[in-house]
Amino acid sequence: MIFEGKAHTYGRDVDTDVIIPARYLTTNDPDELAKHAMEDIDAEFVARVRPGDVIVAGENFGCGSSREHAPVAIRASGVAVVVAASFARIFYRNAINTGLPIVVCADAVTDAENGDVMRVDLSAGTVENVTKGKTYRSEAFPPFMQELIDRGGLLEYVKSRVGGEGA
Amino acid sequence: MGSTITEKILARASGLDEVKPGQIIEARVDLVLANDITAPLGIAEFEKAGFSKVFDPARIALVPDHFTPNKDIKAAGQAKKVREFARKHQIVNYFEVGRVGIEHVLLPDAGMVAPGDVVIGADSHTCTYGAVAAFSTGVGSTDFAAAMAWGHVWLRVPETFKFVYSGTPSPWVTGKDLMLHTIGLIGVDGALYQAMEFTGPAIEALSMDERFSMCNMAIEAGGKSGIVGFDEKTTRYLQSRPDGSRARTAGQVFASDRDAEYSRVLEIDAAAVQPTVSKPHLPSNTAAAADCADITVDQVVIGSCTNGRLHDLHQAASILAGRKVHPDVRCIILPGTQDVCLEAIADGTMQTLIEAGCAFSTPTCGACLGGHMGVLAEGERAVATTNRNFVGRMGHTGSEVYLASPYVAAASAIAGHIATPEEVGAAKGGSR
Ligand code: SF4
């Protein structure tokens, strides 16, 4: 899968409270959540973001709460992929489980500036900064996670495991 | 090479003789939980995937604690979804308002967690139960939905980061101070993906309530879990849980081998730790409380899943007894459970706190996440015994949160600025 869009850059430790503030957690409707994506760190984000855009951030992206509303809000806002130097643990799981593509690529993060055009090739494992004319290798997913992604997410995997009993 | 306590628990749960860090396992879960924010999303996923029954209605806990008693119409709708699902699937451990408490205080106190258990919860502070020598970790709503159907969870076996606390902390230094100090040392991703194992004489000397409060904040250092080894305090705590509960009747005790392998070992002299605060906007942004006397305070929050246990309220009351909350300060108490409230009534703690001018809430997350019951306005500042001080955590993005122990929070409520118990003239010794 290849995504191309403009970079929205942020620093390290972007937490789930700024990705989707708790005051909006009285719903789990993706479109409603998307209206407030990134609101407390970047009030203009929702007006600026275009389908296919890329969030580029430093270490520990998504730290804080377990709210799956965070990757859901980002994805529903139109963002195609998040590139970060590292991800917080629960956010990482949630992104994979909910189908938000994420990529670990510290070097691409260091060089990227707001508005740079980024091209992310998930299967090739590359991140390209088109504006700057540079290409970087991203970290590959462990095989089990790749299997989850290929099977269409965790619940599809679990369905195959519990078979007829629960489903 | 030996194994850590965490590796042993995960090996048992996955039916393997041993496991190694980095290995992906499918572990059987002993308890699966979610709250009124995370459960509705999980329930929707569960139903969308076409599952019709849960793996075990007795092993699921649904705890509507965040926006309850319902803060508004939307929150009421979410709570209703949880209630209806609980009825439909005959979930044994659904807790209605009046019986509900803050999940991470309620579940261990109700005896639902035994040593050696694997607990996953759609709430990041699920790591709290490591205090009873269990493995517990936070996940998202889809993981919760999957575990409800499957009774298992996929996990990457974490490396273990060992902390050794030597020395005797000074009287006003609590487990909370040790933890804030630790996060200050290693940073908010200092233990990313790892199990934090808390050991040493200073940990052995801590009350169970303070051990809960340390494990609670493992996530604030990026940790997957926090854990304290089993000892006679653990036994005493478990034996005082309700008759017939899991804590009384189940569980398996594991301990780290002497030759277990750790990703890192950090020695901390607990005697040198001062009453500590985390300044805005990261838990790792620590400073000595004594150096923050110029910080004025509009609101103080004492309680939450970090410090809402009886021992915490005793510590706060030992400072506030016979004194008054500063005229410019609102001091809000968020007790962990109804049992905590009842005990605080029985031993006079509630009266002490109310006479000092505190507002005593029903058990709810409320103000901790800027939900209700004490939301901050622009420009306002709070000292809170909670666990997060991110931008906007307790209200307006232009508000600020300082994290602290119950002692420092209570002293600050009296002084109207960040203060140590000594500064407000509290007698040495406090409530240990
Ligand atoms: S008290 Fe605060 S940190 Fe604890 S579960 Fe509730 S909202 Fe989360």
Domains, chain A, in order of start with CATH, read 2-162 (3.20.19.10)
Tell me if the domain spanning B276-415 has CATH number 3.30.499.10.
yes
Look at B50 and A167 and tell me if their CB atoms are within 8 Å.
yes
Mutate to test the pocket of ligand 1, among B369, B385, B388 (most ligand atoms within 8 A of CB): B369
Q: Is the pLDDT of residue B117 over 70?
A: yes
> pLDDT averaged over chain B?
97
pTM, entire model: 0.95
Q: For position A167, what pLDDT does the model report? A: 47
Q: Residue B371 pLDDT more than 90?
A: yes
- Percent of residues, chain B, with pLDDT higher than 90: 98
- Cβ contact, residue pair B37, A17, below 8 Å: no
Mean pLDDT for the stretch of residues B220-239? 98
Identify the burial level of A23 via C-beta atoms within 10 angstroms of its C-beta, where 0-12 means exposed, 13-18 middle and 19 or more buried: buried
C-alpha of residue A3 to centroid of ligand 1, in Å: 37
Q: Which residue of A has its CA nearest to B284?
A: A13
Regions of chain A with pLDDT less than 50: 166-167
Per-residue model confidence as pLDDT tens digits over B40-80: 999 999 999 999 999 999 999 999 999 999 999 999 999 99
Q: What pLDDT band is residue B428 in, cutting at 50, 70 and 90?
A: low
Domain boundaries, chain B: 5-254, 276-415
Phi, then psi, of B20 in degrees rounded to 5 = -125, 150
What is the complex's ipTM, to 2 decimals? Answer: 0.91
Q: Indicate the burial class of A115 (C-beta count within 10 angstroms; 0-12, 13-18, 19 or more).
A: exposed
Q: Report whether B52 contacts B133 (CB < 8 A).
A: no
**Strand, coil or helix: A107:** helix
Nearest to residue A15, comparing CAs of B281, B400, B140? Answer: B281
The fraction of chain B above a pLDDT of 70, given in percent, is 99
pLDDT digits (tens, 9 = 90+) for B305-329: 999 999 999 999 999 999 999 999 9
What CATH code is assigned to B5-254?
A: 3.30.499.10
Residue B430 has pLDDT above 80, yes or no: no
pLDDT tens across A93-136, in order? 999 888 899 999 999 999 999 999 999 998 889 999 999 999 99
> Phi, psi (5° rounding) for residue B286?
-90, 155
pLDDT of A146 reads 81
Ligand 1 pocket residues where CB is under 6 Å: B 66, 102-104, 123, 125, 304-305, 365, 368-369, 386-387
